[in-house]
């Protein structure tokens, strides 16, 4: 899958690396902005205290 993506990307090696870095940053941004908060709202978050007196 990654080899097919690499072959589809245009340009020389440094442009391909730049495009891949931008794509990875975009995916991480979307995960952080929408996916992780959505998953957090679904998971039952129980508050627990460790070592309370």
Look up the pTM and report it.
0.71
Domain assignment of residue 48, yes or no: no
Dist. CA 35–CA 11, nearest whole Å: 32
Confidence of residue 52 (pLDDT cuts 50, 70, 90): low
Domain assignment of residue 49, yes or no: no
Q: For the chain, how many structural domains are there in total?
A: 1
Range of the domain at 34: 2-40
| Three-class secondary structure of residue 51 per DSSP | coil
Domain assignment of residue 50, yes or no: no
pLDDT, tens digit, for every residue of 12-49? 999 999 999 999 999 999 999 999 999 988 887 777 67
Domain assignment of residue 53, yes or no: no
Please determine, for residue 53, whether its predicted confidence score (pLDDT) is greater than 70. Answer: no
For the purposes of burial, counting CB atoms within 10 Å of the CB of 4, is it exposed (0-12), middle (13-18) or buried (19 or more)?
exposed
| pLDDT value of residue 49 | 72
Dist. CA 46–CA 7, nearest whole Å: 46
């Amino acid at each position: 899958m990654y080899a097919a993506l690499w072959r589809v990307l245009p340009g020389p090696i440094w442009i391909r690396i730049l495009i891949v870095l931008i794509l990875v940053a975009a995916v991480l941004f979307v995960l952080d902005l929408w996916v992780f908060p959505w998953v957090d709202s679904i998971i039952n978050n129980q508050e627990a205290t460790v070592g309370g007196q």
